[in-house]
Amino acid sequence: MDGTMNHDRDVPGSPATSTRRRVLTRLDLLRDEMLDTLTAAVRIPSITPTYPGEVYADVVGAEGEVSRLLAGVYAEAGAETDVFAVAPGRDNAVGVIRGTGGGRSLIFNGHVDVVPPGDVSGWRSGDPFDGVVEDGWIRGRGTVDMKSGLVAQAFAARALHEAGVRLRGDLILQAVVGEENLENHLGTSAVLDRGYTADGAIVSEPTGGDRPLSVMAATPGVLVMRIEVTGKSSHSSMRGRMLYRPGTTGPVAASAIDRGFVIYQALRRLESDWAATKFDPLFEPGQFTLAPGVVDGGARHSRSGAFIPDSMSMVYAVFHPPGEDQAVVRKEIEAHIAHVAATDPWLRTHPPVVEWPLRYPGSRVDAAHPLCVAVADARELAAVDTPLAGRPPLAAFPSAADSTWLCAAGVPAVGLGPGELAMAHAYDERCAVDEIVCAARAYALAAMDWCGS
Ligand SMILES: [Zn+2]
């Protein structure tokens, strides 16, 4: 342990220390059951039914099944449970373990939905949902993102209950739907609106970046931007005339793809400027980007090489520092696009249309906030005498997470969860069992510290 640990709460032989031992011993005894529950959760293919490419009716319902599985564990942890859905089949599960009074309340939050597995042949196991535990890993879609964290939180609560620990503040367990397609109105925000708020939250998204089980105190603001560029269609053989022989009555055609890439290049330059100008001490340099995700262009009535394309659309994910006013960020990008459009003879009179379908303001908890300190202390104490020992630096989760909606509702939210971020959404997704165990220990210790016991 290094000098930042709160040694006053870790005096050998003190009642607090022996209670903690009891809880951690209980967790050790629950280890196999925890992994069995996790395997059962992974075997439910709870793909977000609205995910692009999915057939809603074929997929809907699995999220609710995972939530009900979690609700069972919450009940075993002594919680009053509430399973409810805003959209049929898409149930959230909440478990409330009432405190004895006088302590701070805490939310454990995680999402039950997973992204599609992609082409099954891309998985070495041949089954993305087999949830097999092997050689210290559990594999399958959703192990990292994020059923391991979700199940570890539930078993941390069970260990506290079975070790006879009564927390002073309420512990509120939340298993929510729809996170992967940014449907917080069906998941986390719906749960918060139903009255399940607290003085702090730990979101169990995978926080293994440079170091496993980092404590992540911030998430970036994320904007989804859609740009529509309109051209003028003609036969593709007219390209030479379009480029080099402008007519006296206006261009014979205008390629939306050529014009779209003018915008693309301009945004690439803006992105480089951002690397030098947008800054937040919790984020890696260059983490604020304009990420093109979709480019789609062609003739409106026929995607064919025989046409000069009259339409091109681009979809970007824009990552900016949390706390930056999103209206200002949007204006900055729109002004940049307008400036470039003004230098182009076609775009000047046919300006691109910019829309912002999704907005995540981002979240940030100060490094000195007692929640950050409590979670980092718990993480450190949980890993003593293991290969994960040490105090990981505070970092920022690189993408949108439900921390945004917790923070927006006045609940400071910090991320801590097993799994490597790079494994999320990837083929052969797998999570280290040691990290899952360590995370469960950290959740239990954090709850004891934050809520009081
Ligand atoms: Zn996730």
**pLDDT, tens digit, for every residue of 65-84?**
999 999 999 999 999 999 99
Of the pLDDT bands very low, low, confident and very high (cuts 50, 70, 90), residue 248 is confident
pLDDT at 5: 47
CA of 118 to the centre of ligand 1 (A): 16
Q: Are 388 and 434 in contact (CB under 8 A)?
A: yes
- 212 within domain boundaries: yes
Conformational region of residue 22, where left means phi above 0, alpha means psi within -120 to 50, and beta covers everything else: alpha
Q: Which of the two residues, 8 and 299, has the higher pLDDT score?
A: 299
List the one residue out of 359, 439, 391, 424 whose CA is nearest residue 114.
Answer: 424
Q: How many CB atoms lie within 10 A of CB 306?
A: 9
pLDDT at 3: 39
Same domain, 168 and 191: yes
Same domain, 179 and 237: no
The single-letter code of the amino acid at 360 is: Y
Phi and psi at residue 185, in whole multiples of 5°? -65, -20
Q: Give me the chain's average pLDDT, please.
A: 94
Same domain, 24 and 161: yes
Q: What gap in Å lies between CA 451 and CA 308, rounded to an integer?
A: 64
Of the pLDDT bands very low, low, confident and very high (cuts 50, 70, 90), residue 8 is very low
Of the pLDDT bands very low, low, confident and very high (cuts 50, 70, 90), residue 12 is low
- 445 within domain boundaries: yes
Of the pLDDT bands very low, low, confident and very high (cuts 50, 70, 90), residue 285 is confident
CA of 176 to the centre of ligand 1 (A): 11
Same domain, 294 and 377: no
CA of 420 to the centre of ligand 1 (A): 12
Of the pLDDT bands very low, low, confident and very high (cuts 50, 70, 90), residue 1 is very low
CA of 379 to the centre of ligand 1 (A): 20
Express each pLDDT in 350-396 by its tens digit: 999 999 998 899 999 999 999 999 999 999 999 999 999 999 889 99
Active-site residue numbers? 113, 180
Segment 172-201 mean pLDDT: 97
Among 360, 391, 406, the domain boundary falls at 360
How many helical (H) and strand (E) elements, i.e. helices and strands, does the chain have?
12, 18
**Which range has the worst mean pLDDT, 10-19, 66-75, 116-125, 415-424?**
10-19
Query: Cis link prior to 5 (omega < 30° from 0)?
Result: no
Same domain, 391 and 314: no
Same domain, 149 and 83: yes
- 2 within domain boundaries: no
Measure Cα distances from 416 to 36, 108, 294, 410 in Å. 22, 10, 31, 19
pLDDT at 10: 60
- 1 within domain boundaries: no
Contact partners, residue 275, CB within 8 Å, separation at least 6? 285, 286, 288, 289
| Confidence check: pLDDT of 7 > 50 | no
Segment 414-427 mean pLDDT: 95
pLDDT at 2: 40
| Confidence check: pLDDT of 228 > 70 | yes
- 419 within domain boundaries: yes
Q: What gap in Å lies between CA 65 and CA 45, rounded to an integer?
A: 10
- 325 within domain boundaries: yes
Among 314, 331, 360, the domain boundary falls at 360
Among 331, 360, 389, the domain boundary falls at 360
How many domains would you assign to the chain? 2
Query: 């979690």: which residue's tokens?
Result: 70
pLDDT at 299: 96
Q: What gap in Å lies between CA 88 and CA 49, rounded to an integer?
A: 12
CA of 146 to the centre of ligand 1 (A): 5
Same domain, 68 and 107: yes
Range of the domain at 301: 221-360
Same domain, 134 and 17: yes
Q: How many CB atoms lie within 10 A of CB 195?
A: 9
CATH code of the domain covering residue 114: 3.40.630.10
CB-based burial of residue 437 (10 Å sphere; 0-12 exposed, 13-18 middle, 19+ buried)?
Answer: buried
CA of 113 to the centre of ligand 1 (A): 8
Specify the DSSP class assigned to residue 286: T
Same domain, 213 and 269: no
Q: Is the dihedral of CA 156, 161, 163, 169 positive or negative?
A: positive
Calculate what percentage of the chain has a pLDDT beyond 90.
Answer: 89
CATH code of the domain covering residue 275: 3.30.70.360
| Confidence check: pLDDT of 48 > 60 | yes
CA of 25 to the centre of ligand 1 (A): 29
Q: Is the dihedral of CA 384, 389, 394, 396 positive or negative?
A: negative
- 33 within domain boundaries: yes
CA of 205 to the centre of ligand 1 (A): 5
CA of 429 to the centre of ligand 1 (A): 13
Segment 228-257 mean pLDDT: 90
pLDDT at 9: 55
CA of 51 to the centre of ligand 1 (A): 14
CA of 28 to the centre of ligand 1 (A): 26
Express each pLDDT in 262-279 by its tens digit: 999 999 999 999 999 999
Same domain, 74 and 133: yes
Same domain, 70 and 201: yes
Q: What gap in Å lies between CA 385 and CA 401, rounded to an integer?
A: 31
pLDDT at 11: 66
CA of 364 to the centre of ligand 1 (A): 18
Express each pLDDT in 87-133 by its tens digit: 999 999 999 999 999 999 999 999 999 999 999 999 999 999 999 99
Q: Are strands 133-134 and 394-396 parallel, antiparallel or unpaired?
A: unpaired
Segment 211-217 mean pLDDT: 95
- Residues whose beta carbons lie less than 5 angstroms from ion ligand 1: 145-146, 205
Same domain, 308 and 406: no
- 110 within domain boundaries: yes
CA of 99 to the centre of ligand 1 (A): 29
